[in-house]
Structure 1
Amino acid sequence: MTTRLNRRRFLAAASAAGAATVATPGTALASGAGRTGTGARTADLVGVQAADGTSVIAQHVLDSHTLDITIDSVALGQTASVRVILPKRFGTRPGASWPVLYLLHGGFGNYCDWTRESDIAALTRGRDVLVVMPDGGRLGFYTDWWAHGGSKPGWETFHMVELAQIVERGLRAGDRRAIAGLSMGGFGAVSYAGRHPGYFRAAASFSGTLDTLHPTAAPVYQGPFANWLLEANYTPSGYDPLALFGDPTAQRDVWAAHNPLDLLAQLCGTKLFVSCGDGRLGPLDPPGTDPSATAVRYEAAQALQNREFIARATGAGLDITTDTYSGSHSWPYWARELKRAFPFLLRELGAH
């Protein structure tokens, strides 16, 4: 079976690298493997399964409240990693359920980005919030790909079904949920909130792609995004941009079903935080930055659709908090925006 083959390949690689705490599903971890040097007990997720058989096949304990897990996903047809920050009292309240904050990375990023580039660890230290940071693929765009009639990779099913069941079963995730993301992840956060009304209490987007059909900012097949790929010499192996949602004319219903701007009615009842730069140099851009740099021009394109989304959302009576500023499409701004949005997210989670 594919799952077994994937698992064997991963276990062999992990054993050779010595990088992860690995155990056979259904068995206990080796003595001390689920503990840090201080003796604090963390979660043991190896063997936890979703309803479709998707299973956690390995975990790596980083510290007393942080761990990485590897999941063999049926929806993806491959393994994917997730970084988790546990609530402060996770080990002392075995019967408690926890509010959950999902953080989504951007294009060409990965599940480590938020802990590497932002202060999420410090922001959540001492708080009873479960933070889940999943892999979303280099250009996965948080959707089950149209794929010319297929459905793989199924990123939405992986996140919204398989991963959700795993964190509920293995980490006692509760029903108070918020989601946030940057760029491609901003699209994912708002699209997921709209496609699953009521599932998230709040959604935050930082420089997110909030109108995939905007004439100047279509993110996957033309416009600034395609130019960015060419200029940066990004050529993902086998990448077919039309496989995401299909052709924007022939499969327009598929595009609309995922496009945040087309999901405004479904976002009623979800608190929104939307921030974006204006594509001009700002205080966090290094001195001497070229005003025509790709990250500056790309943020200018994002700003056009973000302004339209904010105007339409406000006109529709949605509860939306906004933050617009001068700055480029880069991590210093997204890390700052997470800090600005964090009190809002905690409040909606009931964990402020």
Structure 2
Amino acid sequence: MAVIATVAVPVTAAVPAAADPGVPGAPPPAVDPAMTRTGLISIESVGPHRDHLRIASAAMRRIIEVDVLRGSGSAPRPTLYLLDGVDGETTSGWLSKGGAAEFFADKPVDAVLTSGGTGSMYSDWDRHDSALGLNRWETFLTEELPPIVESLLRSNGRRAIAGVSMGAQAAMMLAQRHPGRYRAVAGLSGCYSTADPLGRAVTTITVASRGGNVENLWGPPNSPEWAEHDSLLGAEELRGTAIYLSAATGVPTGADLVAIAQSPTIVDALRTAGGGAALEAGARSCTERFARRLADLNIPATVEYDTAGMHTWPDFEAALPKAWAVLAPALAHPTP
């Protein structure tokens, strides 16, 4: 039976049950105007090395669900924040599809996985969105969440951040916008610009694919905020951070073909095959552009291009060990 520990946080109004943000057309997460303090609400032990946290976020006026994977060895350990893709389901895809729990079981790092960031770019939005709700993810991820989880885990203060797809773009964005906060960053199959035509198009499609209005994100595409979130323009801020990038071609692997064959309907199979191929081909182009920008600035980065692979969790799972090979050394050494 799970053990639940509860920490009292003054919340003066009941928190409405939020609809599953991963369901297309679902209402946005409910907002509680009275939730003005951030704090840990409860801890549920899910397994010997996994806890499920419910955290009251004053920035987003709701409870955010967070999973923690405790690493091997004795604390203190470094912390790795893992960001999901566009769907932002109630359980991170890293856990339900990406094999993170199994991969990190014997690694000397604590992994922190958020959920519910559907179409949000993991950013602070200018305005509330009728489809995607109130999003202040940058504030939550950089200011509200770390003191809670790193205190709970007795962290050694060393951090890295990684993500897939939308989460890859957000991980790089957060590292660029908060230089020195993360020792390492990994982007798997992401796009990293926002201010040029390609970046504006990718960001608009990402938000619109889940019903959001992109002008609620950073205002009109010609506003300064779009440029401020562009990692190509802000690449110099990544100097000194260990960087890993990967992307494939869109050609299906054997694992992709199995996943396609196991789709519940022919429509789902076609969607997985066509969408996965097109999205990964786009991510490959985006990654090549960002890698060239880093090279032009003489900023070291490990970049891997796979000859086969789609925009699917089997391929993201296969890329995780390669990303960890770059993240781990950056997290291993004390600050000089």
Q: Does 1:306 find its partner at 2:287?
A: yes
1:289-304 aligned at under 5 Å gives the runs 293-304=274-285
Q: Does 1:241 find its partner at 2:202?
A: no
Q: What's the counterpart of residue 124 of structure 2?
A: 144
Structure 1 or 2, whichever has the larger Rg, is 1
**Counterparts of 2:296 and 2:51, CA distance in 1:** 42
- Select the residue among 78, 92, 100 that pairs with 2:79: 100
**Counterparts of 2:331 and 2:188, CA distance in 1:** 19
Q: Does 1:221 find its partner at 2:200?
A: no
Please tell me whether the aligned partners of residues 85 and 166 of structure 2 are also in contact (alpha carbons under 8 angstroms). Answer: yes
One-letter amino acid matched to 1:61: S
**Counterparts of 1:82 and 1:148, CA distance in 2:** 22
Please tell me whether the aligned partners of residues 227 and 233 of structure 2 are also in contact (alpha carbons under 8 angstroms). Answer: yes
Q: Secondary structure at the match of 1:147?
A: coil
**Counterparts of 1:84 and 1:136, CA distance in 2:** 15
One-letter amino acid matched to 2:213: D
**1:46-86 Cα deviation digits (max 9, x unpaired):** xxxxxx83011122211121011011100111111100011
Q: Does 1:338 find its partner at 2:284?
A: no
Q: What's the counterpart of residue 124 of structure 1?
A: 104
Against the structure 1 CA distance between its residues 246 and 83, is the aligned structure 2 distance closer, same or farther, given a 3 Å change threshold?
same
One-letter amino acid matched to 1:74: A
Q: What's the counterpart of residue 35 of structure 1?
A: none
Q: What's the counterpart of residue 285 of structure 1?
A: 256
**1:227-273 Cα deviation digits (max 9, x unpaired):** 8x3xxxx5x4xx22221121111x1x101111221220100111100
Please tell me whether the aligned partners of residues 124 and 138 of structure 2 are also in contact (alpha carbons under 8 angstroms). Answer: yes
Please tell me whether the aligned partners of residues 247 and 283 of structure 2 are also in contact (alpha carbons under 8 angstroms). Answer: yes
**Counterparts of 1:177 and 1:148, CA distance in 2:** 30
Q: Secondary structure at the match of 2:328?
A: helix
Please tell me whether the aligned partners of residues 128 and 135 of structure 2 are also in contact (alpha carbons under 8 angstroms). Answer: no
One-letter amino acid matched to 2:111: V
Q: Does 1:4 find its partner at 2:22?
A: no
Shift of 1:214: 4.5
**Counterparts of 1:306 and 1:187, CA distance in 2:** 10
Structure 1 alignment gaps of length 5 or more = 11-51, 91-95
Please tell me whether the aligned partners of residues 6 and 72 of structure 1 are also in contact (alpha carbons under 8 angstroms). Answer: no
**Counterparts of 1:188 and 1:220, CA distance in 2:** 11
**1:193-248 Cα deviation digits (max 9, x unpaired):** 111101111100001121224534522325xx478x3xxxx5x4xx2222112111
Against the structure 1 CA distance between its residues 194 and 216, is the aligned structure 2 distance closer, same or farther, given a 3 Å change threshold?
closer
One-letter amino acid matched to 1:109: G
Q: What's the counterpart of residue 21 of structure 2?
A: none
Please tell me whether the aligned partners of residues 143 and 155 of structure 1 are also in contact (alpha carbons under 8 angstroms). Answer: yes
Q: What's the counterpart of residue 38 of structure 2?
A: 54
1:1-352 aligned at under 5 Å gives the runs 3-7=11-15, 9=16, 53-90=37-74, 96-110=75-89, 111-135=91-115, 137-147=117-127, 152-216=134-198, 218-222=201-205, 225=206, 229=209, 234=210, 236=211, 239-249=212-222, 251=223, 253-286=224-257, 293-325=274-306, 326-350=308-332
Shift of 1:283: 4.1
**1:104-145 Cα deviation digits (max 9, x unpaired):** 000013343112212322222233311111125111111111
One-letter amino acid matched to 1:69: L
Against the structure 1 CA distance between its residues 226 and 175, is the aligned structure 2 distance closer, same or farther, given a 3 Å change threshold?
closer
Structure 2 alignment gaps of length 5 or more = 1-8, 18-35, 262-268
TM-score (norm: length of structure 1): 0.75
**Sequence identity, in percent?**
30
Against the structure 1 CA distance between its residues 226 and 54, is the aligned structure 2 distance closer, same or farther, given a 3 Å change threshold?
closer
Shift of 1:280: 3.1
Q: Secondary structure at the match of 1:160?
A: helix
Please tell me whether the aligned partners of residues 128 and 134 of structure 2 are also in contact (alpha carbons under 8 angstroms). Answer: no
Q: Secondary structure at the match of 2:233?
A: helix
Please tell me whether the aligned partners of residues 283 and 327 of structure 1 are also in contact (alpha carbons under 8 angstroms). Answer: no
